[in-house]
């Protein structure tokens, strides 16, 4: 089935990857409708308000159902929050903040946007996840809240894929690992990145879009890296 999105949503469009996706999709699908949601953009959304998320979904699907939704928001660190290196660094405040952004917000976005997906042809809902959310792939430890929040997101993606698949046979719901992208999120940790493995947002968006465009319905509920390889849970 050919993927030809006519109504596209980017959530987190002000971030590095979200902005790169927005520009890329505007160029590749110039005749499509595109809603780029961010806190202070053309289409506003308040991630802390479920009503705002619901209103965003209604706006985007007002004229026609959704063909492609990309959830590109996330958090790894901020002023008073850095990834934990050991158990002694854990705090309830860190867990609450990281799960709020990386898990709860995408789940609520899924709640309101998934019912708006096109049921007549191939449609995709994707959310940025991370390889470090894989339990089986974890060989280093650390980063407790971030790893756990992305593992939980992957479970939400799997659950939603099962539920939505019962009534929308054309829907694909997946997680995406963008690689290490040159952005504010990765900046404090770029010194540990191997040569050639720090991607521009534009490169990552191009690779991820190629992954999305080649998905089949049988792959719903899974998580894929920028190179198209499935990431195990």
Contact in structure between 175 and 224 (CB atoms under 8 Å): yes
Residue 186 within any structural domain of the chain: yes
Q: Are strands 68-71 and 123-128 parallel, antiparallel or unpaired?
A: parallel
Q: Is residue 214 part of a domain?
A: yes
Rounded Cα gap, residues 121 and 5, in angstroms: 9
Tell me the pTM: 0.94
**Residue 71, beta-bridge partner list:** 11, 127
Q: Does residue 170 fall inside a structural domain?
A: yes
Q: What is the DSSP letter of 194?
A: P
Does residue 231 belong to any structural domain of this protein? Answer: no
What CATH number has the domain bearing residue 151? 3.40.50.720
Q: Is 91 exposed, middle or buried (0-12, 13-18, 19+ CB in 10 A)?
A: exposed
What percent of the chain clears pLDDT 90, i.e. is strictly above it? 84
**Length of the chain in terms of residues written:** 233
The pLDDT tens digits for 101-131 are 999 999 999 999 999 999 999 999 999 999 9
Please tell me the distance from the alpha carbon of residue 176 to that of residue 54, in angstroms, as a whole number.
23
User: Total structural domains in the chain?
Assistant: 1
How far apart are the C-alpha atoms of 40 and 177, rounded to whole Å? 26
230 in any annotated domain = no
167 to each of 90, 115, 197, 232, 233, how far by Cα in Å? Answer: 41, 10, 40, 26, 25
Contacts of 177 (CB under 8 A, 6+ apart): 128, 129, 130, 131, 223, 224, 225, 226, 231
Asked if residue 123 is part of any domain, the answer here is: yes
C-alpha of 136 from chain center: 21
Residue 97's φ and ψ, nearest 5 degrees, are -65, -45
Return the pLDDT at 1: 66
215 within domain boundaries? yes
Domain residue limits at 187: 7-225
Per-residue pLDDT reduced to its tens digit, 182-211:
876 666 665 666 666 788 999 999 999 999
In a domain, 18, yes or no: yes
Q: Would you give per-residue pLDDT tens digits along the chain (233 residues)?
A: 678 999 999 999 999 999 999 999 999 999 999 999 999 988 999 999 999 999 999 999 999 999 999 999 999 988 788 999 999 999 999 999 999 999 999 999 999 999 999 999 999 999 999 999 999 988 899 999 999 999 999 999 999 999 999 999 999 999 999 998 887 666 666 566 666 678 899 999 999 999 999 999 999 999 999 999 999 88
């Amino acid at each position: 089935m050919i993927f030809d999105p006519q109504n596209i949503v980017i959530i987190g469009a002000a971030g590095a990857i979200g902005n790169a996706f927005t520009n890329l999709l505007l160029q590749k699908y110039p005749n499509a409708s595109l809603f780029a949601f961010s806190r202070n953009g053309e289409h506003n959304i308040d991630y802390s308000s479920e009503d705002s998320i619901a209103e965003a979904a209604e706006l985007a699907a007002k004229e026609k159902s959704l063909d492609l939704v990309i959830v590109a928001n996330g958090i790894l660190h901020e002023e008073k929050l850095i990834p934990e290196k050991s158990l002694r660094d854990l705090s309830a405040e860190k867990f609450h903040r990281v799960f709020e952004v990386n898990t709860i917000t995408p789940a609520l976005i899924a709640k309101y946007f998934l019912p708006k997906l096109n049921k007549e042809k191939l449609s995709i809902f994707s959310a940025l996840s991370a390889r470090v959310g894989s339990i089986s792939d974890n060989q280093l430890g650390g980063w407790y809240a971030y790893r756990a929040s992305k593992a939980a997101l992957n479970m939400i993606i799997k659950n939603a894929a099962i539920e939505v698949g019962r009534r929308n046979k054309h829907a694909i719901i997946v997680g995406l690992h963008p690689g290490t992208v040159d952005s504010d999120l990765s900046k404090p940790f770029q010194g540990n990145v191997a040569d050639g493995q720090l991607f521009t947002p534009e490169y990552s968006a191009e690779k991820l879009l190629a992954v999305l465009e080649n998905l089949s319905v049988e792959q719903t509920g899974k998580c894929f890296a920028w190179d198209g390889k499935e990431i195990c849970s």
